[in-house]
Amino acid sequence: MTSFSSQILAGIDFAADLFRQSKYAVVLTGAGLSTPSGIPDFRSTGTGLWSHDEPMEVASLSTFRTAPEKFYEWFRPLASQIFNARPNPAHNALADLEKAGRVHSIITQNIDILHQKAGSQSVIEMHGTLRTLTCTQCYHQVQSAAYLAPFVEKGEIPHCPVCAQVLKPDVILFGEQLPQNAWFNAQREARQCDLILVAGSSLEVLPVAGLPMQALDRGAHLVIINNTPTYLNVRADVVILEDVSVIIPAIVEKVLHG
């Protein structure tokens, strides 16, 4: 049993009360939700992926078009971590909250499919997904499962079964627009909700970082759980700067079982 300070216990209780009172709660998750599952985030000082690599050189659409092998060389370790990752207690708790009817949808900046693996049904993927790959030439789409294993294990770059051109993971690279339907649905959820939980996101990447503000402007409550502060901490009802994989299950336990 985890021991919490009185301040954190008060925050957990308050957040649980907000969920119990809510009629339309949504969740916004970022890379920090998946770091307990062994997937590195992008911006943490020293450990984030962009501490070691220049994103425009390895993870841009222009790089993929001109030198896909350079992208795949960079992507292979991350793909391996995602391929082998399993949902952590935060993913599982959010899935339980949705199943109980306490969460309407999860808006995620993550591409790792861990929300779905945990059992969440209503997931809006803002930065795409590693679930599928699409041909850059004929646009044939395939499920990634059969291609990821040989890529992770042997470095085999996936090629289209129809025209043999390179397949691109359906993730949003630098220089690409957000998926239109996902952005429309995320804005709708932010504007309709009466409570938004931000979990594992530093709220630094626009335009997704602006979604909680859209909710606040329409009178919604805001709960933030993250390791580091965000620009909206001053507007939040509850801020808990601790491990999401510990705090979220504690909140959900209070919501569902008192």
Residues identified as active-site: 127
Would you tell me how many other CB atoms lie within 10 Å of the CB of residue 147?
A: 19
Give bridge partners of residue 142 from the DSSP assignment: 133
Amino acid, res. 143? Q
CA triplet 101, 90, 195: central angle to 5 degrees? 45
End-to-end CA distance of the chain: 16
**106 touches 94 (CB < 8 A):** yes
Burial class (CB in 10 A: 0-12, 13-18, 19+), 174: middle
What is the rounded CA–CA span in Å between residue 107 and residue 41? 17
Q: What 3-state class would DSSP assign to 125?
A: strand
What is the rounded CA–CA span in Å between residue 165 and residue 148? 16
